[in-house]
Amino acid sequence: MEDKSFKAADLWSGLALAALGVFIIMEARQWEFMGPDGPGAGFFPLGYGIAMVALSAALVIASVLRNPSRTDSAVNWRETGRVFAMWMALVVAVATLKVSGFVINFAVLTFFIVAVMYRRPPLRAAIVAAACTAGFYLVFPLALGVSLPAGMLGF
Amino acid sequence: MDIISGLLQGFAVALQPLNLFWCFVGVLLGTVVGILPGLGPPATIAMLLPLTFQMSPTSAIIMLAGIYYGAKYGGSTTSILLNVPGESASVVTCFDGYQMARKGRAGAALGIAAIASFIAGTVGVLGLMLIAPPLAKFALSFSSPEYFALMCLGLAMVVLLAGKSLVKALLAMLVGLWIAGMGIDLFSSTSRFTFGHMEMLDGVDFVVVAIGVFALGEVLGNMESREEGQMLPVPKGLRNLLPNVEELKACRFAFVNGSVIGFLIGVLPGAGSTIASFISYGVEKAVSKHPEKFGTGVPEGVAAPEGANNSETGGALVPLLTLGIPGSGTTAILLAAFVLWGLKPGPLMIQDNPTLFWGLVASMYVGNVMLLILNLPLIPLFAQILKLPVYVLYPIIFGISIVGVYSVSGSLFDVWMLAAFGLLGYLMRKLDYPAAPLILGLVLGDGMERALRQSLMMSQGDLSILVSRPISAVMLSLAVLILIAPLFRKANAWRIRMIDEQA
């Protein structure tokens, strides 16, 4: 089971990169390859697109032919799930920046990290979130004059 | 004579109160970053890069370089006290440093690490100062074909030593070249890979990719588990941090060995401080009268790798400043910083910007002295940083990353891109794709395409121009040799051993 998951990772990443390589080649073919003044916009992308397809094909073939070894490590879905939960929280924070602004979103994101990701008591999470947000507000807009993404409330 | 007058000019710049302040900020941040496991210099420099746009380039590079070499000092602290390297270059320090700490000699180990770092760091700057000007003069004869060949050589070296799988390293580099090619083509005004987004016409900002892949990718990777290490007690008082005479005597050769090997390895693109520290440790063990004691807590086992990883910094700046070719993720970010400030590292850098070059060199001497002072008496204080809970640290990194990216363009589209590149950085780690070739491909991609197209314009489309000029022919042949070397079993075994050591 372990070996299968590791082999599959190489296989799928190889296939994804092969698809990217094909996309690059298709796009590059629409641009000039060689003109009277020398190489056109498609010259270089076509080169690395072809190289990408060739190398990812090599990766896919190698992963199919490879015998599972003891050094192959398993995908720990629990750990990976934690990371994806965190990343989704970040995406939600970014998606709502236009509405609620950096200050509120950063406080909520910090609360989420402390209370949910690290299972600390809600009161401690609230204190950390408030302190970090206040620190950011003091350092960036007030001390350094760096503007933060503002929401509908203006901050 | 030129060097002496240049250095004097450099000290006049570095000793200005404002530059002294930024140098101090840089080395202090570097030490903190080095101490914190899981947050490396490339991530920190990438995060702080947007904030340097309002500074003068000289002050900014003095601060960013301070972070780069300061992290090498700080990295030893966690290796010695926690058996967890603060950054990859400090892995070897764990072998004997942690054992010394377990025997109650933590203070001496930390002291030796600081002294070795100071000596070797100073030797590295000396090497940079002596080698960079003649190399820059030589590189003045380079034209587009030579530059293209040089970039191929640099990328080949980085790819060779970046990951266990050469294919994956090459693929990561190609993805970097692809990202670099996004936006308007300056030769023909064709828009490429913009996916219909107006925001993409200017291309993808390097800062977004660097912060995403290095900082967010690293933090997301660290958040997989909640584990935290157990720290050994730090001795208090300067007296307890100083090594005794016997220990210093045992380190004599290690100081020299680390300094020389570190610098030489640093000049080679791709090798980096981790390999420098391993080779230096290996040499020290090989010439030692008691090699069997290595790994049980011998002081020279701390001095050699710590010296090497500090001296490497000076070496790594040689190709960056004189040829415009970075050899690692961190120097690639420094190169991008120069470009963003409107400067062009290369053969004319010293001639056109003597204040910046010599100011940087002089600031590194000053910074090394600051680091020695910071790292000896203040180690117990710095060690307290390790008590900062990760659930406080990580939100701060997320926040700085978002603010840093937003401050460059004021565009929420870039913040979206940041989140996407953060996930890419994590997936690359997870799937064993090295990040350094991607970043180098991204930084060099534009210049590489330009050099290739200019070369072919010079020759009216004849590719033989790349191999008919002696310097470019030699460099391209070397690049090809480097890339086919892993096909030979012995060479590949050596390459994998190097990478295993790095990991």
Contact list, A41 vs chain B (CB under 8 Å) = 185, 187-188, 190, 192
Cβ-in-10-Å burial (0-12, 13-18, 19+) of B387 comes to exposed
Q: How far apart are CA B176 and CA A55, in angstroms?
A: 15
Which pLDDT score is estimated for B265?
85
Look at residues B25, B31, B9, B117 and name the one whose alpha carbon lies nearest to residue B62.
B25
Q: How far apart are CA B368 and CA A37, in angstroms?
A: 51
Q: How far apart are CA B216 and CA B396, in angstroms?
A: 11
Let me know if residue B420 belongs to a domain. yes
Cβ-in-10-Å burial (0-12, 13-18, 19+) of B470 comes to exposed
Q: How far apart are CA A11 and CA B394, in angstroms?
A: 32
Which pLDDT score is estimated for B88?
66
Residues 312-331 of B with CB under 8 A from A: none
Cβ pair B407:A147 closer than 8 A: yes
Domain count, chain B: 1
Strand-pair partners of B192:
B183
Contact list, A151 vs chain B (CB under 8 Å) = none
Let me know if residue B459 belongs to a domain. yes
β-pairing, B183-184 with A38-39? unpaired
Say which residues have a Cβ less than 8 Å from residue B297's Cβ, sequence separation at least 6: B96, B99, B100, B102, B103, B105, B109
Chain A nearest-CA distance from B45, in A, is 17
Burial per residue of B253-292, b for 16 or more beta-carbon CB atoms within 10 angstroms, e otherwise: ebbbbbbbbbbbbbbbbbbbbbbbbbbbbbbbbeebeeee
Which pLDDT score is estimated for A94?
95
Residues 55-94 of B with CB under 8 A from A: none
Which pLDDT score is estimated for B235?
65
Facing B395 at nearest CB: one of A75, A94, A113: A113
Tens-level pLDDT at each residue, chain A (155 residues): 444 566 688 899 999 999 999 999 999 999 999 888 789 999 999 999 999 999 999 999 988 887 765 555 567 888 899 999 999 999 999 999 999 999 999 999 999 999 999 999 999 999 999 999 999 999 888 877 788 898 888 87
Chain A nearest-CA distance from B389, in A, is 10
Say which residues have a Cβ less than 8 Å from residue A73's Cβ, sequence separation at least 6: A2, A6
Which pLDDT score is estimated for A52?
97
Let me know if residue B54 belongs to a domain. yes
Size of interface A-B (CB pairs under 8 A): 161
Domain of B284 in residue numbering reads as 2-228+240-502
Cα dist from B301 to B37, B102, B110, B233, B245, whole Å: 21, 15, 12, 21, 16
pTM exceeds 0.90, yes or no: no
Contact list, A128 vs chain B (CB under 8 Å) = 391-392, 395
Chain A nearest-CA distance from B15, in A, is 24
Facing A90 at nearest CB: one of B419, B433, B457: B419
User: Do B109 and B302 contact (CB within 8 A), yes or no?
Assistant: yes
CA-angle at B343, arms to B349 and B139, nearest 5°: 30
Which pLDDT score is estimated for B154?
81
Question: What number of other Cβ atoms are within 10 A of residue B429's Cβ?
Answer: 17
Domain boundaries, chain A: 2-65, 77-144
User: For the segment B104-123, what is each residue's pLDDT rounded down to a tens digit?
Assistant: 888 888 889 989 988 998 99
Which pLDDT score is estimated for B181?
93
Q: How far apart are CA B21 and CA B296, in angstroms?
A: 40
- DSSP 8-class letter at B386: G
Facing B181 at nearest CB: one of A44, A80, A136: A44
Tens-level pLDDT at each residue, chain B (503 residues): 578 888 899 999 999 999 999 999 999 988 888 877 666 778 788 888 887 888 899 999 999 999 988 888 887 887 787 776 666 677 788 888 888 888 888 888 888 998 998 899 899 989 999 998 888 888 888 889 998 998 898 888 778 767 678 899 999 999 999 999 999 998 888 999 999 888 899 899 888 898 899 889 988 998 988 766 565 666 666 666 678 888 888 898 999 999 998 898 888 766 677 778 888 888 888 888 888 888 888 999 999 999 998 898 889 899 889 988 887 778 888 888 888 888 888 888 888 899 999 999 999 999 999 988 887 777 777 777 777 888 998 999 899 889 888 887 888 999 999 999 999 999 998 998 988 889 888 988 988 999 999 999 998 888 899 999 999 999 999 989 888 877 776 667 777 777 666 55
Interface pTM, i.e. ipTM = 0.92
Cα dist from A70 to A4, A27, A74, B277, B492, whole Å: 12, 41, 10, 29, 20
Phi, psi values for residue B461, rounded to 5°: 85, 5
Contact list, A98 vs chain B (CB under 8 Å) = 412
Let me know if residue B234 belongs to a domain. no
Chain A nearest-CA distance from B93, in A, is 25
Residue type for position B452: L
Distance of CA B326 to the CA centre of its chain: 9
Cβ-in-10-Å burial (0-12, 13-18, 19+) of B293 comes to middle
Say which residues have a Cβ less than 8 Å from residue B207's Cβ, sequence separation at least 6: B46, B49, B50, B336, B340, B404, B405, B408
Residues 147-206 of B with CB under 8 A from A: 165, 167-168, 170-171, 174-175, 177-178, 181, 185, 187-188, 190, 192-193
